[in-house]
């Protein structure tokens, strides 16, 4: 395995010296605080207004309280609503974590979750910078604000809807930082925490196995046992914890159907434009499913052909394997790994996770912040002649995100339903792969220069 000293010395060998104005740093901090406060106020105001109207609240905030309250009183969090769907679709570990928090009360819980989201936002800004540079200060200003600006719509969604996609992203980034610092216990804890609350981050586990982080794998398994069984058993008892795990597994992890991504998933959004996963996009292209049912507008379909359901599933699985195979081919061998390549492959991992997960709604694209930061680091810090190419490539990757804005124009809706976030994820993924390959090629070329020089001097 590459030593930390080698990675750090390589990273410093081709960086451009940059002076950062301390006053600008203070301005960026103030802008962040203003944005975090601005994003926090609407969900808090909505919650107060709804409670005065005798309603539980808005979006997912009341679901978190209700789930924690049920779990705390020994009642299963899994029940079917009038649509035969699970209102709470997350693993038993999430209910176990929410149970003690529900003791705070409805409004204090909302305040806590909003503050937690802000802490996760800070982590998602600084962790990618640390991964790629080895420090969090003294770097170009664009690294601190451009990723957040690009993903601002998705960040806003996490606040308004009460979704914890940002917290999950922070956990995965924290795992990558811990791996870089050789802290397998913390890495395993953070991955298990993310997977215990919302299952799809467990897709990072094959990466740990491939990179032979065996201690982190073992600690992940141990902490998963804690979150999925031991913690819920404290409230539901051993039998209830096992029953909840079975119910969730059979309901949410079941295979997709022609109408839903799983037996109890939300049918209304399983295959619509809000789901940017490979599987959802493939079904929208190749099968006659509703791609947009929002805003009381006519239903929209974007399929080019109408293939059988099983055939489309096989194609989606094949595309998934192809992407994962390309990822393995791009990843450098141990002796060629650098801090930059590790950061880039970590960013690729995060993008692959949101592409491969069957249910990947728009707010999950806040996970793109890491990839954007890595590309910006290459453009602004690494001195090379390919910066212009990287800038154009990044702009092309971000362009499809514009179509995520809600518009009633049929052509706009059509382009959005084709998979605007899917294309953005895929183009950025390809750029990161190019950066890894290029950095590997540049390093091998540089290492051959002393040998060529010595041979010419001998002649």
Contacts of 282 (CB under 8 A, 6+ apart): 312, 315, 316, 319
361-411 pLDDT, tens digit each: 889 999 999 999 999 999 998 867 788 999 999 999 999 998 887 778 888
Domain that holds residue 150: 20-253
Q: Is residue 342 part of a domain?
A: no
Asked whether 227 and 191 are in contact (CB, 8 A), the reply is no
Q: Is the pLDDT of residue 445 over 80?
A: no
Q: Is residue 282 part of a domain?
A: no
Q: Is residue 88 part of a domain?
A: yes
Q: What is the pLDDT of residue 5?
A: 38
Nearest to 293 by CA among 417, 420, 161, 418: 417
Q: Is residue 75 part of a domain?
A: yes
Cα(145)–Cα(129) distance, rounded to whole angstroms?
11
Q: Is residue 360 part of a domain?
A: no
308-351 pLDDT, tens digit each: 999 999 999 999 999 999 999 999 988 889 999 999 999 999 99
161-179 pLDDT, tens digit each: 999 999 999 999 999 999 9
Q: 105 in the Ramachandran plot: left (φ > 0), alpha (ψ -120 to 50) or beta?
A: left
Categorize the per-residue pLDDT at 19 as very low, low, confident or very high, splitting at 50, 70 and 90: low
115-161 pLDDT, tens digit each: 999 999 999 999 999 999 999 988 999 999 999 999 999 999 999 99
Categorize the per-residue pLDDT at 11 as very low, low, confident or very high, splitting at 50, 70 and 90: very low
> By mean pLDDT, which of 46-50, 105-109, 251-255, 327-331 is the weakest?
251-255
Single pTM value for the model:
0.91
DSSP three-state, residue 181 = coil
Q: What is the pLDDT of residue 453?
A: 39
Number of independent structural domains in the chain = 1
Q: What is the pLDDT of residue 227?
A: 96
Q: What is the pLDDT of residue 152?
A: 94
Whole-number CA gyration radius for the chain: 23
190-245 pLDDT, tens digit each: 999 999 999 999 999 999 999 999 999 999 999 999 999 999 999 999 999 999 99
Contacts of 3 (CB under 8 A, 6+ apart): none
Q: Is residue 270 part of a domain?
A: no
Asked whether 52 and 169 are in contact (CB, 8 A), the reply is no
% helix / strand / coil in the chain, to the nearest 5? 70, 0, 25
Q: Is residue 163 part of a domain?
A: yes
Q: What is the pLDDT of residue 318?
A: 97
Q: Bridge partners of 300?
A: 292
Q: Is residue 443 part of a domain?
A: no
């Amino acid at each position: 395995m590459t030593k930390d000293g080698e990675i750090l010395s390589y990273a410093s060998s081709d960086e451009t010296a940059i002076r950062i104005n301390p006053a600008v740093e203070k301005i960026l901090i103030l802008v962040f605080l203003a944005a975090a406060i601005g994003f926090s106020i609407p969900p808090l105001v909505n919650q107060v207004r709804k409670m005065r109207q005798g309603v539980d609240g808005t979006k997912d905030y009341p679901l978190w309280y209700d789930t924690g309250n049920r779990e705390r009183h020994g009642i299963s969090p899994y029940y079917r609503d009038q649509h035969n769907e699970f209102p709470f679709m997350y693993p038993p570990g999430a209910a176990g974590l929410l149970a003690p928090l529900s003791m705070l009360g409805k409004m204090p819980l909302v305040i806590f979750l909003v503050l937690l989201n802000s802490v996760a936002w800070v982590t998602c800004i600084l962790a990618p910078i640390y991964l790629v540079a080895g420090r969090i200060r003294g770097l170009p200003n664009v690294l601190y604000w451009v990723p957040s600006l690009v993903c601002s719509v998705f960040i806003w969604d996490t606040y308004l809807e009460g979704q914890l996609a940002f917290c999950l992203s922070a956990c995965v980034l924290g795992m990558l930082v811990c791996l870089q610092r050789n802290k397998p216990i913390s890495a395993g804890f953070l991955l298990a925490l993310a997977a215990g609350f919302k299952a799809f981050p467990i897709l990072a586990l094959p990466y740990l196995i491939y990179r032979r982080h065996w201690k982190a794998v073992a600690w992940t398994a141990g902490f998963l046992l804690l979150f999925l069984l031991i913690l819920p058993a404290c409230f539901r008892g051993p039998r209830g914890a096992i029953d909840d795990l079975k119910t969730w597994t059979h309901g949410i992890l079941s295979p997709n159907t022609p109408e839903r991504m799983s037996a109890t998933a939300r049918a209304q959004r399983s295959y619509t434009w809000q789901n940017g996963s490979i599987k959802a996009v493939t079904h929208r292209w190749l099968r006659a499913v509703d791609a947009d049912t929002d805003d009381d507008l006519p239903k929209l379909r974007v399929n080019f052909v109408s293939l059988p359901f099983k055939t489309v599933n096989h194609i989606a699985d094949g595309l998934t394997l192809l992407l994962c195979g390309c990822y393995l081919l791009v990843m450098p061998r141990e002796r060629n790994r650098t801090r930059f390549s590790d950061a880039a492959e970590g960013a690729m991992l995060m993008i692959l996770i949101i592409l491969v997960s069957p249910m990947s709604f728009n707010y999950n694209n806040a996970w793109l912040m890491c990839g954007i930061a890595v590309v910006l680091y290459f453009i602004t810090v690494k001195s090379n002649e390919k910066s212009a190419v990287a800038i154009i490539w990044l702009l092309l990757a971000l362009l499809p995100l514009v179509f995520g804005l809600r518009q009633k124009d049929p052509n706009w809706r059509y382009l959005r339903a084709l998979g605007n976030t899917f294309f953005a994820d895929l183009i950025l993924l390809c750029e990161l792969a190019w950066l890894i390959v290029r950095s590997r090629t540049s390093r091998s070329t540089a290492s051959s220069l002393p040998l060529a020089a010595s041979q010419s001097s001998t002649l």
